[in-house]
Amino acid sequence: MTAPAEVEATKLIAEGSRILYEQRVLDAFGHLSCRSPVRSDSFFISRSLAPALVTAEDVVELDFDCAIVSGAPDTRLFLERFIHAEIYRRRPDVQAIVHSHATAVLPFTLVKTARLRPVCHVCGFLEGVPPPFDVADHAGPSTDLLIRNATLGRQLADHLGDANVVLMRAHGYTAVGGSVQQAVYRAVYTIKNCEIDLSSRVLGEPTYLTAGEAAACEATTAEQVRRTWDLWAQEASSGGFRTQ
């Protein structure tokens, strides 16, 4: 990790991890990664560490078999690093990934008839989210539900398909983006969409965006992602540890 772009990527992982903690996407668990800016077959991710504590020095580079490319050979890695490796392998368009256990999203992973659909104009990226991925369908009924190996990672990546978010039963979700900023934005607004959807049900059945509206809204918000990042980064750097 010596190229300026690589150094910048490690800083983005640290800054993004702090943002995701402050925005309540991550707590002690969950992680953010980005594809290497100088080679397409590796990615940057923190060593196993609570996201709010991540610094640029904690970031390591892994290949798609999760072998360490840059970093100490004995570095302790996240159990679920295979989520990232296999999505990068399957989706060349994906440049960054967030994996979260946010509780606001969990109901949409548990109820078989529930679908995560875009409910407001800043969440068009949720169009096309598939039904929840269920580890039990692939590894039986007695696992800890984690994506602990490349096989489950590949099956999860296949389930994600071309969508921007994949739900994981009784576990959480994973959001992808064309940049760290976009992946973080999508992870944050997935939670907001779930909260709005559930709260509106007090009044009745919500009206979701049409596919055309979702596409138009996504084209608009994709240009606005930088504004959210700048705000959240400032909030995270001015005190931190959920001061807002």
Interface with Zn ion (CB under 5 A) = 80
Q: At which residue do the structure tokens 């939670």 appear?
A: 191
* Cα distances (angstroms) measured from residue 199 to each of 171, 193, 202, 215, 229: 22, 10, 6, 24, 26
Strand partners for 46: 59
Q: Which is nearer to Zn ion, 22 or 80 (CB)?
A: 80
Q: Which is nearer to Zn ion, 80 or 127 (CB)?
A: 80
Q: Which is nearer to Zn ion, 16 or 118 (CB)?
A: 16
* Cα distances (angstroms) measured from residue 113 to each of 35, 108, 132, 215: 34, 9, 10, 24
In whole angstroms, what is the distance from residue 223 CA to residue 219 CA?
A: 7
Residue 95 near residue 35 (C-beta atoms within 8 A): yes
Half-sphere exposure of 23 (CA within 13 A, CB side): 26
CB of 49 to Zn ion, least distance (A): 15
CB of 94 to Zn ion, least distance (A): 18
Catalytic sites, residue numbers: 80
Q: Which is nearer to Zn ion, 30 or 124 (CB)?
A: 30
